Amino acid sequence: MNIKWDANKYTEDFSFVPKYGNSVIALIDADKGSSVLDLGCGNGALTKALKDKGYLATGLDASGELLDIAKEKYPDIDFIQGDATDFTLSEPVDVVFSNAVFHWIDQDRQKNMLRCVHEALKKSGQFVFEFGGHGNNQKIHGALKRAFSEYGYCYEMPFYFPTIGAYAALLEKTGFEVHFAVLFDRVTELKGESGLKDWIHMFVKTPFSIVQTEQEKAEIVDKAAEALRNDLFINGKWYADYVRIRMKAVRL
């Protein structure tokens, strides 16, 4: 799923996305100097964190807007524009790392992505990643579905949120051995008084393509946010009901 990002707003208001990725990096146990591909690197914040850990880090992302920011902020790191489901590297790496990316890839394209990762890794190379797991933002998507229905529209889930079992099976079929897997809740604070609406505008784009007017789009977002106030507006702050899947696998 390719979308056009508001790269500056993403960098300024949604810095929690790469911030949480730092704990995913801790799963990597490769030696300093090992080569690491940051798959879906976005604005490069975690590619820089990987470099600071002593790895030879390279970033790859489909978004030219986000890569422009990455190249400007971190000119000493190599960044490549490419599709996670259709890429090759000039030579294999020791580690492929990814944070908050794979739920953007349609289910029928996951096998292609995993094949690319498998080919990009050296034998026994590590594949370390986190993304939205089963139940991720269930309250938010449920409220949007109900609001869409009130206006006569069908809300199509734009993300892929698998169970551990389903994703482990995909990994094993592609030639990986799973070494670590966990699914966990991570309620996440959003920035500002309009935090939830801003989150919806930033991350939930494709379902709104069928909504006929900008006024209806705004009203649907307002209805969804108001319906979630009791659950996700806590002590004057908005939160998102994240559920994450975090895994580590090794290329056989």
How confident is the model at residue 14, as a pLDDT? 46
* Residue 25 in domain: yes
List pLDDT tens digits, range 16-72.
556 777 899 999 999 999 999 999 999 999 999 999 999 999 999 999 999 999 999
Does position 181 have pLDDT exceeding 80, yes or no? yes
* Bridge partners (DSSP) listed for residue 81: 61
- Nearest-CA neighbor of 246 among 131, 95, 117? 131
Residue 183 to residues 176, 189, 221, Cα–Cα distance (Å): 19, 19, 28
Q: Which residue has the higher pLDDT, 13 or 252?
A: 252
CATH number, residue 20: 3.40.50.150
Answer whether residue 133 is part of any domain. Answer: yes
Assess whether pLDDT exceeds 70 at residue 3. Answer: no
Average pLDDT over residues 202-226: 96
Domain hosting residue 49, numbered range = 7-137+159-191+241-251
Can you give the pLDDT at residue 12? 53
Residue 186 lies in a domain: yes
Domain total of the chain: 1
Residue partners of 87: CB distance under 8 A and separation at least 6? 60, 80, 116, 120
Q: What is the mean pLDDT of residues 86-102?
A: 97
State the residue for tokens 């953007």.
Answer: 104
Using the predicted structure, report yes or no on whether residue 5 has a pLDDT greater than 60.
Answer: no
